[in-house]
Amino acid sequence: MTVLLDKARQRQTQVTGFILLALALLLALFLAPGAVGDATFRLSRPNDVWPVPNLIVPGGVFVYVASAFMAFLGVRLFLSGGAKWAPLILGIGLAVAVAAFLVWATAGKSFSLTGMLQASLVRAVPIALGGLAGVLSERVAVVNIGIEGMLLAGAFTGALVGSLAGGLAGLAAAVAVGGVFGFALAALVVTYRMDQIIAGVFINLFVLGVTSYVSSQVFQEYRALNNAPVFRAIEIPILSDLPVIGPVLFSQNIFVYGAFILAGIATYYLFHTRHGLRARAVGEHPRAADTLGINVYRTRYINVTVAGMVAGFGGAWFTLGSVGRFDEGMTGGRGFIGLAAMIFGRWHPVGALLAALVFGFADSLQQKLALLGTPIPSEFLAMAPYIATIVVVAGVVGRARAPAADGKPYVKE
């Protein structure tokens, strides 16, 4: 059995090496010849207190060097079969490929790299919060496919209540509605032992149907109900004036700061508190936890309800943190990408947050490439976040292990 596993890992490593070699060849043959001129990345904004010079990269030279480096990584993997480092090497290779692609698109032009990084962080917020909701649910062995619906419910409620009573009331209502759907999911899968996938799909379809109907039948006629205020950026004194990292990290709205704070709180709760230890025990071995006096049902109810509240907060970003209005299906699959971020982050809050930054960067990248006027069709650019999701989960995750009881109902004897 061990020999078969070793052979499978070696074969997977060789496939990874072949992928890097193919990407290196693609860069050298198709992108490098077209990277004519220097790529200029602006690092400062016109009103920055401490401006820094632009980053200027020779287009063709950089792409050729990136191609050679990726070929080196690919050959190393293909020949050595070092399965242990294969996911890390693939991740480095993909990062280099993305950098080369960005230099190719910017050759002879310029754009704000700081603005792109800032947009990447903002676009990562709903994915990060969706991933965090997944972590909180699956750590107690409840698969939460309904995150997409919870995000959409939070966005809809935030727009409706925010239009009527202001941003803070809309935010509180979005969190509450997310908690209601989290509680409903817990009731379906914990008490009534409904299939967890079906329960999540039911929530997604129910929310999509209700919000689509109201959006088309009510909001079209009563536009004042869909005109919510948007939370402005909160600039942290002194820190927001720092070059590059200031506008990226310290000049954001409440949702960006909230994502970081919630990730920190969830990490502390799961790994440094008694209740978090109990929650993880419920996710790994619920019968043993029950034997020790832990109420498995209550623990699952609490965690899944809180996960719904986190998803509701993330859903409010779409309306109260972005455009100020609700549009049909505006979450665009971010809940499912959040689940991918959870897997990529190995069921850890910080890991899910970091993974969300990768997907947020891919989302921001496709918009920047469209602005730069690259010859790639817009439909293919729009696919970038989802392609990144597939590539990352399929190739970079490696041996990620879910909680042992994940997705399994528990019946108390």
pLDDT at 14: 79
- Higher per-residue pLDDT: 87 or 394: 87
353-393 per-position pLDDT tens digit: 999 998 898 888 888 877 777 777 766 767 767 776 677 66
pLDDT value at 94 more than 70: yes
Q: Could you give the dihedral angle defined by the CA atoms of residues 315, 321, 326 and 327, in that order, rounded to the nearest 10 degrees?
A: -90
Question: Is 186:304 a contact under the CB 8 Å cutoff?
Answer: yes
Q: Which amino acid, 299? A: T
Mean pLDDT of 76-92: 73
Beta bridge partners of 234: 252
Three-state secondary-structure class, residue 130 = helix
pLDDT at 367: 81
The three-state secondary structure class of 111 is strand
Is the pLDDT assigned to residue 8 strictly greater than 70? no
Q: Work out the average pLDDT over 116-133.
A: 95
Confidence band (pLDDT; 50, 70, 90) for 61? very high
Domains of the chain: 2-108 (no CATH), 114-396 (1.10.3470)
Taking the mean position of all CA atoms in its chain, how far away is CA 61?
33
Q: Averaged over 83-95, what is the pLDDT?
A: 77
* 8 Å CB contact between 334 and 130: yes
Of 218-222, 314-318, 409-413, which one has max mean pLDDT? 314-318
2 pLDDT exceeds 70?
Answer: no
Mean pLDDT of 316-324: 95
The pTM assigned to this predicted structure is: 0.92
For the record, the structure tokens of 147 come out as: 């995150």
Q: Taking residues 158-187, report their average pLDDT.
A: 97
Do residues 34 and 107 touch, judged by C-beta distance below 8 A?
A: yes
> What is the pLDDT, as a whole number, of residue 5?
46
Q: Which alpha helices (H) appear in 196-295, and where do they start and end?
A: 196-217, 245-249, 254-272, 274-284, 286-291
In this prediction, residue 84 carries a pLDDT of 66
More confident residue, 94 or 281: 281
pLDDT (tens digit per residue) in 215-241:
999 898 899 999 999 999 999 998 998
| 155 contacts 210 by C-beta, under 8 angstroms | no
What's the rounded mean pLDDT across residues 264-280?
96
Read off the pLDDT of each residue in 318-346 and give the average, rounded to a whole number.
93
Higher pLDDT: 332 or 9? It is 332
- For residue 262, what are its two tokens? 């919630």
Strand 234-235 versus strand 110-112 pairing type: unpaired
Residue in the block written with tokens 């750590």: 139
Partners of residue 251 on adjacent β-strands = 235
Residue with the bigger pLDDT between 7 and 56: it is 56
